Amino acid sequence: MKNEYLLLTPGPLSTSETVRSAMLKDWCTWDDDYNKDIVEVIRTKLVSLATAQEGYTSVLMQGSGTASVEATIGSAIGKNGKLLVVDNGAYGARIAQIAGYLNIACRVISPGETSQPALENVEATLKEDGDITHVAIVHCETTTGMLNPIEAVAALAKAHGKVVILDAMSSFGGIPMDIGELGIDFMISSANKCIQGVPGFGFVIAKQSELEKCQGQARSLSLDLYDQWHCMEMNHGKWRFTSPTHTVRAFYQALLELEKEGGIAARHQRYQTNQKTLVAGLKSLGFTPLLDESLHSPIITSFYSPTHSDYQFKEFYDRLKAQGFVIYPGKVSNADCFRIGNIGEVYPADIERLIGAIKNAMYWELN
């Protein structure tokens, strides 16, 4: 079944017909055909995609990507631990909010939604507050499309002996990285992002030695990261509670398609081409990106809304949807903007068609 429109969002995103078709079969969660041949293969492939270094393992968690973030925050940080969060967007803020809900001590560095964190501020905070045990940062902050300097922040954290938690929700699978080389202890992502699967579960790729320290620390039964991992380790991929079988099978297919495309490097190149084509095309139509080009990620881009008095996002959105494209509203607190993603089963020719559709949808220019 063909899609009626392209989802130009940071996930859920447009998937291939073959990924969607993979969900047409039912699976038994106790069967080796599912656990050993699908779940365990996925776990192994994820680690291989994340790092070439030894000592890493992976665990899949039911729910949204935020559930996996909460599972990590709530399991990795002990009762006497303290978290330092880099917050320059909605998803960094969400990590701090999770810490608040779980009564975890937390320091926040907030450079603003359109700025990267100043490394001197990160270092000064780490020196000043010896109680900090963990540092968390979002790689691609999809509030704006900003790519954060994870290499430098992780290096500072490691220099001060801290555990590093990376929210790579919207970047893993679409931007090359080796989390072992970076010193990342826990990396979190989701099925419905750059791997190009469908929603239903997230995953954590972690240093096994750090994951083992999580035993008995979880603040939630269903979000106990250690227990979920231990169950999968001991039972060849078995989930503790009901597995999202159809979503998992679709993800397996998506991983095969990532390999066929040429791996993360090839997908990154496609996403970059999409993003550069998008920005050039919209600039030619008079739109202005929110961020300086040096801060852009290849994932999603925010653009200032037109200042014309007749412009309404809903009208613009509806006109684009009628032409087969769905975009995102803005999420920046101090700027009127909208966002366009270019990940998923989206190619440069699709972006060229989108630019033509946007030109057709600019009704305020006709008034």
Cα separation of the two ends of the chain: 38
Instruction: Give the Cα separation of 263 and 175 in Å (integer).
Output: 10
Tell me what the mean pLDDT of segment 73-89 comes to: 97
The Cβ of residue 356 has, within 10 Å, a number of other Cβ atoms equal to 11
| Sign for the pseudo-dihedral over CA of 47, 153, 160, 129 | negative
Instruction: Give the Cα separation of 87 and 136 in Å (integer).
Output: 9
User: What confidence score (pLDDT) does residue 168 get?
Assistant: 98
Identify any residues that bridge with 7 across adjacent strands, giving them in sequence order: 326
Instruction: Give the Cα separation of 367 and 352 in Å (integer).
Output: 25
Residue appearing with tokens 């509670």: 241
User: Which pLDDT tens digit goes with each residue over 285-339?
Assistant: 999 999 999 999 999 999 999 999 899 999 999 999 999 999 998 878 788 999 9
pLDDT band at 37 (very low <50, low <70, confident <90, very high): very high
The per-residue pLDDT of the chain, averaged, comes to 95
Q: Report CA-CA distances (Å) from 333 to 88, 97, 144, 298.
A: 11, 17, 11, 22
pLDDT band at 3 (very low <50, low <70, confident <90, very high): confident
Instruction: Give the Cα separation of 348 and 304 in Å (integer).
Output: 22
The answer, yes or no, to whether residue 117 has pLDDT greater than 70, is yes
User: What confidence score (pLDDT) does residue 30 get?
Assistant: 86
User: What confidence score (pLDDT) does residue 330 get?
Assistant: 85
% of the chain exceeding 90 in pLDDT: 93
Q: What predicted TM-score, i.e. pTM, was given to this entire model?
A: 0.96
- Residue 168, helix vs strand vs coil: coil
Q: Which residues in the chain belong to E strands, given as ranges?
A: 6-7, 56-62, 82-86, 105-109, 134-138, 140-141, 146-147, 163-167, 186-190, 201-207, 300-304, 325-326, 328-329, 337-341
User: Which pLDDT tens digit goes with each residue over 254-287?
Assistant: 999 999 999 999 999 999 999 999 999 999 999 9
Q: Which helix (H) or strand (E) holds 67?
A: helix 65-76
